[in-house]
Structure 1
Amino acid sequence: MDTDALRRDLVVPGGLWTSLDVVTETGSTNTDLAARARNGAPEGAVLVAESQNAGRGRLERRWSAPPRSGLFLSVLLRPADVPIERYGWLPILVGVAAATTVSRVTELETGLKWPNDLQITVGGEERKIGGILTELGGGAVVAGLGINVTLRADELPVPTAGSLALAGAAVTDRQTLLRGLLREFAELYGEWRAAAGDPHASGLLPAYTARCTTLGRPVRVQLPGDRELLGEAVAVDTDGRLVVRTADGSRHPVAAGDVVHVRPERPDPA
């Protein structure tokens, strides 16, 4: 990546982004940027890695990919004018920005599996191409994002993963994607902060529900404590929780859990 060109385009007076660094390799951009946050780094720092060897995803999952095959980055945020109870919307905001950018740049329909797994269709099947992890500490939020861009089928970490290249993306240039993503995020983040984090007033909740591939589908939610919830995903509430309606008609808000989209059973042929 051309770091100087990215800085000229993105680190501008009055803009959100205050610094942008690209490293050849690191363990985790989130870990590195969190250390900078503890040392007083200002809001708007961006750290991009060509390769991560200890990337982390939601639920303590590992995230790995060959060097220069994807976007691996973290951003440092300090939304002091937003109540801390609304910080939970930040990973969703990152997801909306990423899905919007990928759709626009690559011409691929991109959705969000609750809460913020990026999904596209590869060979007629939903595949995960990216994930988001946000971490809070010391008054700062570090939001990390990984997107599979040019991975081949034999390089995918799991069979259910995919990449933009495998889906036939019109554009797979990582620098173009990064530039678009950071600009889209800055715009959405500014609107969210101006609304004090209100998901309705900022337009974030309707933007998310429009892209959420989980809504309206039968789901199985694997909850903490080896519990399971079966039902239909019917809404996302004002706290960002997934609302699941079970067979008895009761509604259950889910704040954390692993969601599986359940395929409707096909009737046996006559």
Structure 2
Amino acid sequence: MTPSDASAGRWSDLDRPPLSAASLRRALVTEGSLWTSLEVVESTGSTNGDLAARAAELPEGAVLVAEEQTAGRGRLDRSWVAPARSGLFFSVLLKPGAAVPAEQWGWLPLLAGVATATGLSRGAGVDMALKWPNDLLVTVDGEERKAGGILAERTADGIVLGIGLNVTLTEDELPVPQAGSLALAKAAVTDRDPVLRAVLRSLEEWYGRWRDAGGDPAASGLQETYATGCATLGRHVRAELPGGRELTGTAEAVDAEGRLVVRTAEGERSAVGAADVIHLRGH
């Protein structure tokens, strides 16, 4: 890893200037803030992997941002690749400790989705929906497209949340046709510095509210806010479950454990905790 400020060619693409680590630190790493450090690197395999490897020696609130990820991962070990400085690829270290029972930590990826969506509404002027459990959707020409995602990894005493967000990707640069970006969704702001500040401030706010409520998703308002912004609810879906099983039905709710409740055509309700969910058309 090399610090982004040390790269001789960092101004090679004037349409995609590098992040300013110094200004981000001045804005975010302040007295009483959740964020205790913020590092920007030019390129790395995975910010989640790097931060998880150092989690034991770092305090809560460490933030690691990469201008480019060469081995970024999404859920189910899918790769996440994008041109350098075209998006935001970062991870944060959280250590809820005794303040939140471990069984509630499963809400953290969903919390990150809510925080990212609300932060982007304020900071980028773009509407974003959530696809259960942690895909970030934007609307491009009337069509829902994935513009980002969240990956959570447990460490010995905490959790690393990785957030990947396509910011300025053009149609020609999309990894798959179903992908999107803030620019394609006509966001009012695509300057990555203020966008990252808005997302991290929103994440700090939501995390504080959830932690102060002892991780209670209802008392913190997290469960209701997630459901309001979740594009999966009310849709006909196919949940591809571990072991090759499938469940098809209507996504009805997100329960107190963050699981997706699906009602089948026979009227049976099942709570899905880990699955790849596909929104089905024509229903």
Report the TM range for the smaller structure's normalisation: over 0.9
TM-fit CA distance, 1:123: 1.5
Matched with 1:220 is 238
TM-fit CA distance, 1:5: 0.9
Matched with 1:103 is 121
Counterparts of 2:156 and 2:235 in 1: how far apart (Å)? 38
Q: Which runs of 5+ in 2 are unaligned?
A: 1-18
Q: Give the secondary-structure state (helix, strand or coil) at the position aligned to 2:209.
A: helix
Matched with 2:87 is 70
TM-fit CA distance, 1:88: 0.3
Report Cα offsets for 1:45-97 as digits up to 9, x if no partner.
Answer: 00000000000111111111000000000000110011111110000011001
Amino acid at match of 1:211: G
What is the aligned-residue RMSD (CA, Å)?
0.9
TM-fit CA distance, 1:140: 1.5
Superposition TM-score, scaled by structure 1 size: 0.96
Q: Give the secondary-structure state (helix, strand or coil) at the position aligned to 1:6.
A: helix
Amino acid at match of 2:69: Q
Counterparts of 2:215 and 2:40 in 1: how far apart (Å)? 30
Q: Give the secondary-structure state (helix, strand or coil) at the position aligned to 2:54.
A: helix
Matched with 2:34 is 16
Q: Which runs of 5+ in 1 are unaligned?
A: 266-270
Counterparts of 2:177 and 2:242 in 1: how far apart (Å)? 25
Q: Which one of the candidate residues 53, 62, 75 is aligned to 1:45?
A: 62
1:185 paired with 2:203, answer yes
Is the CA contact (8 Å cut-off) linking 2:119 and 2:201 kept in structure 1?
no
Counterparts of 1:97 and 1:190 in 2: how far apart (Å)? 11
Identity, in percent, stands at 63
Q: Give the secondary-structure state (helix, strand or coil) at the position aligned to 1:95.
A: helix
Superposition TM-score, scaled by structure 2 size: 0.92
Counterparts of 2:121 and 2:115 in 1: how far apart (Å)? 10
TM-fit CA distance, 1:104: 2.2
Matched with 1:55 is 72
Alignment of 1:26-175 (within 5 A): 26-38=44-56, 40-80=57-97, 81-175=99-193
Matched with 2:4 is none
Is the CA contact (8 Å cut-off) linking 2:38 and 2:62 kept in structure 1?
yes
TM-fit CA distance, 1:183: 0.6
Is the CA contact (8 Å cut-off) linking 2:240 and 2:275 kept in structure 1?
yes
Matched with 2:264 is 246
Amino acid at match of 2:91: S
Is the CA contact (8 Å cut-off) linking 2:132 and 2:260 kept in structure 1?
yes
Task: Kindly report structure 1 stretches of 4+ aligned residues shifted beyond 4 Å.
Answer: none
Counterparts of 2:139 and 2:156 in 1: how far apart (Å)? 39
Report Cα offsets for 1:147-186 as digits up to 9, x if no partner.
Answer: 0000011111111100111111111011011000111110
TM-fit CA distance, 1:227: 1.2
Q: Give the secondary-structure state (helix, strand or coil) at the position aligned to 2:188.
A: coil
Counterparts of 1:31 and 1:107 in 2: how far apart (Å)? 31
Amino acid at match of 2:60: E
